[in-house]
Amino acid sequence: MPEPLVYLNGEFVPYSAARVSVEDRGLQFADGVYEVVRYYDGRPFRMQQHLARLVRSAAGIELPLPPIEEIRRAMDALVEKQSLQDATVYLQITRGPAPRAHGLVTDPTPTVIAIAREAHSVRPRPTLRVVTVSDDRWARCYLKTTALLPNALARERARRLGADDGIFVRDGFVMEATASNVFVVLKGRLLTPPLTNYILAGITREAVIELARGEGMAVSEEPISAHLLYEADEIFLTGTNSELGPIIAVDGRTVGDGSPGPIFNRLIAAFDVAVRSSQPIGARSS
């Protein structure tokens, strides 16, 4: 099997040959941003939205980016060069190497890394058990930065409690899961927390909202009290890697009848159609 390729600072190199400086700011300060783009049938899903979010995240930490079109071409080329059809491309851009100092670098040379890996859409989606965890992350969760240690610790706490993931709760309200957004069905209403500085604007979240409205469902972006997780008819997560994931238990309490519900099933079916189509979601649902 051929060795995977890595896009590193303008070059495509074998995985084993990819190297970055020991003084890269991404390594020493988590000083960087990232995106993960899903490819279906060799085509990126919502690339424009991913790149727009990358620009917002970089601006939020005052990180200069290479030309966006150059980044787009590099990601596409990784998939094409390795003859991948269904894949994920992980893109990371850091402030680059510099002598260690807490201030920002005046003239940084960003480090750009992209890796493509084969991906599979598992159907039916595996069911998930989650626990609620206190949200102790920083106040700029709306930026997609590489500072993910609190998320990793929360995921590990969930694993040790026999769960698959954790849902962050702040001041009694649902925020998001460790790497995905949260949707709740309550008395027939589809709800998701509104975007704030503590919630990342998920690309799949946005797509699911559009799909739900295209299916004639009313969707409300509103604060969700954590106790409502125990009363929900359905709960599911959305993310680029995880697509849509149905939750069947929260803190040991069964959600609904303990199986994926009808709203989830309708949306995952609509999602599967959407990602295999070259036509934008908005055009299909208008």
Can you tell me the mean pLDDT for 250-277?
Answer: 97
Q: Which among 49, 37, 54 has a CA at the least distance from the CA of 282?
A: 49
> Is residue 184 a contact partner of residue 178, using CB atoms and an 8 Å limit?
no
Q: How confident is the model at residue 286 (pLDDT cuts 50, 70, 90)?
A: very low
For 135, residues 6+ apart whose C-beta sits below 8 A from its C-beta are 168, 169, 170, 175, 198
For 14, residues 6+ apart whose C-beta sits below 8 A from its C-beta are 3, 4, 5, 6
Q: What is the pLDDT of residues 12-30, one digit of tens each?
A: 999 999 999 999 999 999 9
Amino acid at the residue 194: P
- pLDDT for res 181: 98
* 3-class DSSP assignment, residue 61: coil
* Whether residue 44 has a cis bond before it, omega within 30° of 0: no
pLDDT for residue 151 is more than 50: yes
Amino acid at the residue 256: G
- pLDDT for res 234: 98
Q: How confident is the model at residue 277 (pLDDT cuts 50, 70, 90)?
A: confident
Third-level CATH fold of 5-118: D-amino Acid Aminotransferase; Chain A, domain 1 (3.30.470)
The ranges assigned to domains in the chain are 5-118, 128-285
165-170 and 128-134: which strand pairing?
parallel
**Element (H or E) spanning 57, and its range?**
helix 47-60
- pLDDT for res 284: 42
pLDDT for residue 175 is more than 90: yes
Q: What is the pLDDT of residues 90-101, one digit of tens each?
A: 999 999 999 999
Can you tell me the mean pLDDT for 261-272?
Answer: 98
Percent of all residues in the chain with a pLDDT value above 70, rounded to a whole number: 97
Can you tell me the mean pLDDT for 66-71?
Answer: 97
Asked if the domains at 5-118 and 128-285 fall in one CATH topology, the answer is: no
| Mean pLDDT of the residues in the chain | 96
Q: Domain 128-285 is classified in which CATH homologous superfamily?
A: D-amino Acid Aminotransferase, subunit A, domain 2 (3.20.10.10)
- pLDDT for res 285: 36
Phi first, then psi: what are they for 82, rounded to 5°?
-105, 10
- pLDDT for res 279: 64
Can you tell me the mean pLDDT for 142-157?
Answer: 98
Contacts 24+ apart (CB under 8 A), 65-71: 65/93, 65/110, 66/93, 66/110, 66/112, 71/112, 71/114
Residues tagged active-site: 144
